[in-house]
Amino acid sequence: MKQIQQLDELQDWVQQETSVGRRRVLVPTMGGLHEGHLSLVDIARQQAGKEGRVVVSLFVNPTQFGPNEDLGAYPKSLEKDRQLCEERGADLLFAPEADGMYAADASVGVSEGRLSRGLCGGSRPGHFDGVCTIVSKLFNLIQPRAAVFGEKDYQQLAVIRRLVRDLNYPIKIIGGPIVREDDGLAMSTRNQYLSPEERSQAVVLSMALLQARQALDGGERDMLRIRGLVERVLSGSPLARLDYLETVHPDTMQAVEEPGDALLIAVAVFFDSTRLIDNLCWREEG
């Protein structure tokens, strides 16, 4: 597997791959890779086929972190991440430095003005401006035919799909299912910040969403009851501090008063300073 840090070297590689018609599939990450990330690499490998190229980007993007968030503490494990990517069949690891991706006087960015307003966009102002900008830069640099994003960050996935639609990127966006630990906790790089007691209580996120799924599958359609069910399960964890609990349509991110044929229940919870997110995307069968 090849590793590239400099943009000019990346551009030379992309030009060479384009000249021979090789399909590229991108998996954008911020490193600290776990099985959730690697499942996206597996999907990319399937999409690329034997002759295509799987590109994993590893960049802790400073523009999507707020002033009081964990940019400085975000795990950096480049050598381990490189080995994991190689084992899963990636062809290129692009791991630039921040000064290579952003000029000191950078003044142009990309914003999405509708799907990013609530949920994480509401509690992390400016976050999705940073996401849209860095993803646009990666798309421009790598020119992939497809890109894979995890469904754990469901709002991000919806925002990226809108970005691709509205800016006419010729890129297929693929969502990868949430990968969970044995007890149900969604895999996240931030899980390693949790104390043993916080880790044992963090399972309430998936427990609450499971209760909601069972209620929906059983015919419950009263949104107040569904939200109340989720809140009661979350309240069973003394260390959990709710950031948001939202019930929205998964395609529009707009609040819904009744499930209809599709519903996204999205939740963000703090354990001390560690913020975890999870969601349930439910669709009416048939």
Q: Which of 176, 197, 217 is the last residue of a domain?
A: 176
CA distance 207 to 194: 18
Say yes or no: 157 and 203 in one domain.
no
CATH of residue 243: 3.30.1300.10
Domain tally, the chain = 2
Residues labelled as active-site residues: 37
Binned average pLDDT, 10 residues per bin, the chain of 286 residues? 97 97 97 97 97 97 89 88 98 96 97 96 95 98 98 98 98 98 97 97 98 95 95 97 96 91 96 97 84
Distance CA 272, CA 263 (A): 29
CA angle, corner 275, sides to 59 and 36, nearest 5?
55
Containing structural domain, residue 253: 189-279
Instruction: Read off the pLDDT of residues 178-231 as tens digits, 9 standing for 90 and up.
Output: 999 999 999 999 999 999 999 999 999 999 999 999 999 999 999 999 999 999
Within a domain: 284: no
Model pTM above 0.85: yes
Q: Can you give the CATH number for the domain in which 42 is found?
A: 3.40.50.620
Is residue 150 located within the same domain as residue 104? yes
Cα separation of 207 and 56, whole Å? 32
Indicate the SS3 state at residue 270.
Answer: strand
At residue 230, the pLDDT reads 98
**What would the two tokens of residue 130 be?**
């940073």
pLDDT score recorded for residue 175: 98
Task: Output the pLDDT for position 286.
Answer: 57
| Same domain assignment for residues 46 and 131 | yes
